[in-house]
Chains A and B, each alone.
Chain A
Amino acid sequence: MDRASLEIGRGEVFTLLGPSGCGKTTTLRLVAGLERPDAGEITLRGRVVASVPRRVFVPPNRRNLGMVFQSYAIWPHMTVFDNVAYPLSLRGLGRTTIRERVGRVLDLVGLAGTESRAATLLSGGQMQRLALCRALVYEPDLLLLDEPFSNLDAKLREQMRLELRLLQRRLGITVLFVTHDQIEALSLSDRIAVMHRGRVEQTGPPRSLYEAPASAFVRDFVGSTVILKGRVSALEPGRVGVTLDGPLGARALAGRSVASAALQNGAAVHVAIRPEDIGVQEGRADGAGALPGVIDTLLFVGDRYEARVTIDGAQRIILLLARGREWKEGQAVALTFPPEAVSVWPA
């Protein structure tokens, strides 16, 4: 992990998103104080907790952070109550205060009444709530979440995501969240930092990340992207014309060039668009704005269809088709690419 500079605002949910091994967990552990940095500085609410130049290292127990681990790390030798009471007893609180605060936080996540139960007898979702209670009960300055949903099944995951978002809003707590799941990241975060090979590729609110990715990695990692290959055929301010590769050749598309890329006429480029932005009509393409395609394979996935479509008999793309209409394999379709949704990248 190198050269990452991040700043998290108070009350914000900030997410580190990236594939496994990109350094996001290391970053989280550095913030937690579970790893020592080789260089640089970490500041929490104006207090330097780790600084190599100033030779400062505050151990994790003196940083006042909360953390929910991937495995939840529920202590198996303690009851539900003891698990939550542990951080409070470390802070020297009285018996009655502890009882009252544990009760309140368990109530908050719907675990009231389980106090005396052995922590190991809880279900996966309950354990996760318990881990959250344990991390929240002492009002940490920052809550760290290390892939907290990865051990839950899909339904429970969605539910916990919503619960966590509601709880965070209610308590106004600052959260640093680590995940490799872009849906979790997009739905939970105020801001996201996409990490790749130990570096931050882009930081921004979910929507701008999705709609205006700054690099090919961010574009492909966040959400799915349809990519077509071609060459630049026309250059206008804010608009690039592209002739697609393929046996039929002459098909042209228009789109905006990504801000950072300076393109030249004839240069090889990738044309990128989110699949849901592609317009799909039944029948053959006739106008100049539409591309002719054929549905190769059609998968019904419940709320919609997933279709593999061959364009010009050469390039294959995956599209999502609405359930409202009847689709068939082998059917011809006309695809339209709205220029405002198309971006052109150097190949």
Chain B
Amino acid sequence: MAGVAAPVALGRARSIDAPALLCTAVLAVVAFGVVYPVLLVVLQSFQTALPGQPPRYGLDGWRAALAEPALRSSLWNTLTVTVVRQLITLPLAVGVAWLLARTDLPGRRAIEFAFWAAFFLPPLTVTLSWILLLDPEYGLINSTLATRLASGKGPFNIYSFWGIVWVHVITGSLTVKVILLTPAFRNMNSAFEEASRVAGAGTWRTALRITVPVMAPVILSVLLLGTMVSLQTFEVEQVLGTPFRFFVFSTTIYDLLVTRVPRYDAATALAVLVLAAMLPLILAQQWVTRGRRYTTVTGQFQNRPHALGAWRWPALVLALGLVAVVLGVPIVFALLGTFMKLFGFFHVPEPWTLENWKTVLSDGLFMSALRNTIVLALGTAVAAVLVHSLIAYIAVRTRYAGRRLLDFISWLPFTVPGVILGLALLWLFLGTPLLRPLYGTTAVLILAGLVSGMPLGVQIIKSGLLQLGGELEEASRIAGASWWTTYRRIVLRLMAPTLMAVGMITFVGAARNIANVALLSTTANRPLAILQLDYIAEKKLEEAVVIASIIMLISLAGALAAYVLGVRGNVG
């Protein structure tokens, strides 16, 4: 080969299969952090002794859980809230995603970002701001309408089934679906639609007969994901449901834990029931996405948006209306609430004040909680990017024998209600001698965030990897790079936008995480989210809403950062 230069020697072949060892190590660590706590939950449900006494095993917990009179109604409530949420949000989300991804809706990029930002709003903050509008007595909408209605009473009550559904639709059900469906709709090859248009179908018929059916697997997968998330809800029902004795599964469990004598056995027994309900959903989700061909967007086809014509403006009004409801109202009213003398009372003389901010900012607890939150959120984000991407990579790209098991395990944190997962991690830390010194440090909370964020993080990275052609990695292997070098220099670099997004989602999730850390945090490592919960428990709603607004601002900054980084880093 005279033309180029002398060949370059490569090192000798190694006989030990290093990648397989690494995969097994990852599997072992993940199993310890996820499967072990879940097993502890199952075991605990048969452990009937009171805390502090030697363990005794029996079925008392199960009997108590199943005999609990509230159980049947909470089961029914969980089911109806979940179904109604999905029924309302799915068609709406499909419509919005279609408008944003496949039409010439004016300002569609900005609207997409608004949904993205709304997804990051902490549910508790959103709940508090909608209370300001829809409280049956003092809510701004109700009191405004009351003066004009004959009955003299506002028509809305947020402390009701429909109030809870409404807040859920706003706090996640709709936004999460829109932000998951929109990119999927955008990546669809427009040739399918063009063929239908040429065959004589109009825009609407093409959307209904071609676009939606082609996207059916994605839509179904998002629906299953949404159902799982909604079986987990906690804060909204805790704040809105408890006043009128409306319990769902997670709040029933929480109730069993925070009574004077905590019923760990009964609470965990209920958690095992949730787990049993979740497993088929996970299997269904994996089955739906099983044989899916992810086509890379190559620039080979052009995505020409449908012209909406005269429908542009009604569609824009609808989209902007949704943005106002999911993003505008929560931000404006949460901030307004922080300046109120008495939270929710607009009609008292001189309702505005700066006292709440002064009180919170001068509170010694605030600065340490803020510091804890930032360390917690950053730590969780970095750990999540590393761990979740490794799991996703092994599951998608390797031939490792345990890859399916690893994939399945990554779903498990979804199956356990957040509060119980926190409790199980507490047992894990206190029960493992090597880990016991970590109790009370932020590391514990980071682990909780890492585990609870695992299903979503791993899924997002997995779908990103599937869209990346495998040949890009194979080319690197052939060029002489080891598995690890390829992972560092090709995979991580190409996945940078996705990883940034996962990092920011985890950052925000950790900053606002309540359910998982409620039982894990101590005064030493208490983050803002728990400080806010403490203020609520002390009925200091004004201070709570200040903290809620600060968490919201951190979240929005994270959303903006994720969006900007994701767009800038987007290659090709």
Contact = CB atoms under 8 A, between A and B. Distances in A.
A90 B11 contact: no
B268 to A, nearest CB: 45
A69 B490 CA distance: 16
A65 B477 CA distance: 10
A173 B1 contact: yes
A10 to B, nearest CB: 11
A34 B477 contact: yes
A234 B1 CA distance: 56
B471 A87 contact: no
B13 A59 contact: yes
A117 to B, nearest CB: 14
A75 B490 contact: yes
Contact of A73 (B9, B14, B475, B481): B475
Contacts of A34: 474, 477-478
A231 interface: no
B10 A139 contact: no
Interface stretch (A130-138, A201-209, A255-263, A339-347): A130-138
B489 to A, nearest CB: 7
A32 interface: yes
A98 B489 CA distance: 18
Contact of A91 (B8, B469, B483): B8
Contacts of B478: 32, 34, 60-61, 63, 65-67, 135, 144
A76 B489 contact: no
A101 B477 contact: no
Interface residues of A, number: 46
Contact of B1 (A69, A91, A172): A172
Contacts of B474: 32, 34, 60, 67, 69, 73
B297 to A, nearest CB: 12
By size class, the interface of chain B is: 35 or more
Contacts of A141: 7
A225 interface: no
B4 A101 contact: yes
B5 interface: yes
Contacts of B291: none
A76 B494 contact: yes
Contact of B471 (A59, A62, A73): A73
A104 B572 CA distance: 27
A325 interface: no
B7 A139 contact: yes
Pick the 3 closest A-B CB pairs, nearest first: A87-B479, A73-B471, A73-B475
Interface of B: 1-14, 469, 471-472, 474-483, 485-486, 489-490, 493-494, 496, 571-572
26 contacts: A32-B478, A33-B477, A56-B13, A58-B13, A59-B13, A60-B477, A61-B479, A61-B483, A66-B478, A69-B471, A69-B474, A69-B475, A70-B471, A71-B469, A73-B469, A75-B475, A87-B481, A91-B9, A91-B10, A104-B5, A108-B3, A120-B572, A131-B475, A136-B4, A139-B6, A173-B1
Given A60-B477, A77-B493, 14 more contacts: A60-B474, A61-B480, A62-B10, A62-B12, A64-B7, A67-B474, A76-B494, A86-B489, A91-B480, A138-B480, A139-B4, A139-B8, A172-B1, A173-B1
